[in-house]
Amino acid sequence: MRPVLEVADIFRRHGVAFRAGQGSRLSSDQRRVMAAIEACRTATLGGHVERCDDCGLVRVTYNSCRDRHCPKCQGLARAQWLADRQADLLPVPYFHVVFTVPASVAAIALQNKAVVYDILLKAAAETIRLISADPKHGCRDWDDRHSHTWGQTLTHHPHAHCVVPGGGIAPDGSWVGCRPGFFLPVRVLSRLYRRLFLERLQAAFDSTKLQFFGHLDHLSEAAAFARHLNALRKVKWVIYAKRPFGGPGQVLAYLGRYTHRVAIANGRLITCEQGHVRFRWKDYRAGNKSKVMTLETDEFIRRFLLHILPKGFRRIRHFGFLANACRVAKLARIRAALKAPQPPPPAEAVDYRERCAILIGHRLDLCPICGGRMVEIGLVPRARTPRRAAPRCDTS
């Protein structure tokens, strides 16, 4: 069922005024995402005309924008991704580790998203790799990383979620598991992660990959940036090593909730009235108590757009034995060491309707009136975008 209120509705009602008020402060990526969400499942993107074979009902279904920031376009992508990951799971314990950054680093990240988010994921991966290689802590190979940039109230809070198996392949080809219920020492992880992150951040500054504006403009000077990093070396960097998952099924359930999330789901929205948006949020500091927050419409849109990723940035990444270059060979070695059977091949679908039925269990080709089969009988063309007039050259 369609939610009563969607992010797209808020953008359609208030997006024009918001864009006019922001002027050049909106990036091209933010403008592109706003336009995609506004056009999603409307006549702007075209669609299909379908008719029921039994009762003759005719309906038009409009195309999706398929943007990764759109709350309506992640269901099928999430299901397909999970089906692909099902074949990669092993019958071993899995751990969930979250890497965060201090607020002063988050401020730099907001002005340098592609660079700093990349550093976050790579520093987290290198931290686990280096600590895991120490014989004192056991042998581990490692798994998925995915980054988030938001909290429950849409504030900017960049962090990386890591799903790591509790063990790895030894040089003799055997599987070496970790101690039950224990992953890695968090204090050691935190200090190494802080050092590796700041080293990469300094390297990015030295290669002029960082830009600073507004209240951070003073950091463009080398001396000021060095003082800023020195202060960060004295701050505790928080890493959460959460309880191990109960099994591969629980890993998939977790991945399904978090990997393809957007800043806010449509189901959390309550109202958009009199220039204010009300939405539900979960207060983790109050025992996960559900609360309601009210924001001015412009502030809600501004917070949503804080989390638009740069075009081409890969938010979900695979490391270790799941890296594309060695995935097949390493998974075969690990399964042989664990004496685990090979997973069955995934079911193949001809079109998106069959894919949706296989992955989600929801059939799109059923008539909502009589349950008969809907057959495509025509197409709705995309709306033409008016061309901008070419600027005239005054030769007078």
Q: From edge to edge, which strands make up the β-sheet containing 289-296?
A: 269-273, 276-283, 289-296
Whether the Cβ atoms of residue 29 and residue 311 lie closer than 8 Å to each other:
yes
Tell me the pLDDT of the chain (396 aa) as tens digits.
Answer: 567 899 999 999 999 999 999 877 899 999 999 999 999 999 999 999 999 999 999 999 999 999 999 998 888 778 878 877 777 888 888 888 889 999 999 999 999 999 999 999 999 989 988 887 655 544 445 456 577 777 888 999 999 988 888 877 777 777 777 777 666 778 889 999 999 999 999 999 999 999 999 999 999 999 999 999 999 999 999 998 877 777 777 877 777 777 778 889 999 999 999 999 999 999 988 888 999 999 999 999 999 999 999 988 888 888 877 777 778 888 888 888 888 888 777 666 566 677 777 777 778 788 989 989 999 999 999 987 654 444 443 433
Strands in the chain per DSSP E: 47-52, 58-62, 94-100, 144-150, 156-165, 167-169, 175-177, 239-241, 269-273, 276-283, 289-296, 316-318, 374-380
Q: Is the four-CA dihedral 220, 223, 229, 231 of positive or negative sign?
A: negative
| CA separation, residue 197 to residues 121, 125, 203 (Å) | 9, 11, 10
| Residue 395 confidence (pLDDT) | 36
CA distance 96 to 183: 9
Burial class (CB in 10 A: 0-12, 13-18, 19+), 151: middle
**Biggest CA pair distance of the chain:** 83
Interacting residues of 183 by C-beta distance below 8 A, sequence separation 6+: 95, 97, 164, 166, 241, 244
Whether the Cβ atoms of residue 291 and residue 95 lie closer than 8 Å to each other:
no
Residue 62 tokens, joined: 């409009």
Residue 236 tokens, joined: 């505790």
Burial class (CB in 10 A: 0-12, 13-18, 19+), 117: buried
